[in-house]
Amino acid sequence: MFGFFKKSFLQSELLNGFTDVHCHILPGVDDGVQKMESALHILDFYEEHGVKRVFFTPHVAEELHENNRDHLLQRFDELTKLYKGGIQLALGAEYMIDNGFEMLLDKKEDFLCASGDTLLVETTAQNPPINMSQIIFELQDRGYDIMLAHPERYFYMHTADYEELVAKNVQLQLNLLSIVGLYGEHAKKKGKNLLEKGMYTYVGTDLHNLKRHQQQMGIKAFSKSELKAIATLIGNNNQLPIGK
Ligand SMILES: [Fe+2]
């Protein structure tokens, strides 16, 4: 279908054994999946394709007032009570580095981490946080391993910024479908480039909606070298411990 070397992600069977480190499947808490039955359906779809572990990473941001630690833990508890499948589940979060995050940091918040002390953070696509270096320093000083979500989507970041982050031991997380254009040409170009240079450590789906992901994972063509590089990242995902 795609020529000799190209395959869709589903054809590659790389979901078999996969740990998804970034997704918005926990229902009704952010702009991701809304209904419990949809969340359970997605987990069934994942299991059919061999996914072994899912880290839920709902958005935590200043404007999402309800998404504090206790509320998310309660939603997670509701889901795990209903879930009867075989995938291992853990709750983390995707923290937007904004004023609210800085307030949590000042209050010594016990941040939600799905894997050990690995903390998933993001920034807006357009603007760097004012104190990014200081925040990275403080988080690392508190013992967190920082995973930066979808750096390819940040318009303000350039090669030197990525190199600086990697030098500071910030682990970069690719959004799987960035490199087939789900988030536009800019993210696609940067994602391919960072993947080729070996700058990423992890890969996540950042799934908000199964239909869109299922379709793109089923039809978009990945090159042999892209699939090989992604397989390495998946290997890193799968090495992460689950839970605290
Ligand atoms: Fe996300």
pLDDT higher than threshold 60 for residue 1: no
Rounded percentage of the chain residues whose pLDDT exceeds 90: 95
Tokens of 32: 């991701």
pTM for this predicted structure:
0.96
pLDDT higher than threshold 90 for residue 5: no
200: left (phi over 0), alpha (psi -120 to 50) or beta: beta
Q: How far is the CA of 163 from the centre of ligand 1 (A)?
A: 22
Give the pLDDT confidence score for residue 2 in this predicted structure.
Answer: 53
Give the pLDDT confidence score for residue 57 in this predicted structure.
Answer: 98
Q: How far is the CA of 113 from the centre of ligand 1 (A)?
A: 14
Q: How far is the CA of 104 from the centre of ligand 1 (A)?
A: 19
Q: How far is the CA of 183 from the centre of ligand 1 (A)?
A: 12
17 alpha-carbon distance from chain centroid: 17
Q: How far is the CA of 15 from the centre of ligand 1 (A)?
A: 19
Give the pLDDT confidence score for residue 244 in this predicted structure.
Answer: 79
Q: Position 20: which residue type? A: D
pLDDT digit string, tens, across residues 218-244: 999 999 999 999 999 999 999 999 997
**Which position has the token pair 């839970």?**
243
Give the pLDDT confidence score for residue 175 in this predicted structure.
Answer: 98
CATH of 9-238, one of 3.40.50.2300, 3.20.20.140, 3.20.20.70, 1.10.357.10: 3.20.20.140
Q: How far is the CA of 5 from the centre of ligand 1 (A)?
A: 30
pLDDT digit string, tens, across residues 56-85: 999 999 999 899 999 999 999 999 999 999
Give the pLDDT confidence score for residue 4 in this predicted structure.
Answer: 61
**120 bridge partner residues:** 94, 147
Query: Which of 145, 118, 140, 59 is CA-nearest to residue 94?
Result: 59
**Which position has the token pair 């918040």?**
109
**243 bridge partner residues:** 115
Beta carbons within 8 Å of 16's beta carbon, 6+ residues apart: 49, 50
**Which position has the token pair 């087939």?**
180
pLDDT digit string, tens, across residues 188-229: 999 999 999 999 999 999 999 999 999 999 999 999 999 999
Q: How far is the CA of 206 from the centre of ligand 1 (A)?
A: 5
Distance CA 20, CA 204 (A): 5
Give the pLDDT confidence score for residue 145 in this predicted structure.
Answer: 98
Give the pLDDT confidence score for residue 33 in this predicted structure.
Answer: 98
Listed by start position, the domains of the chain span 9-238
Q: Would you give the DSSP letter of residue 209?
A: -
Q: How far is the CA of 22 from the centre of ligand 1 (A)?
A: 6
Q: How far is the CA of 141 from the centre of ligand 1 (A)?
A: 25
Q: How far is the CA of 52 from the centre of ligand 1 (A)?
A: 20
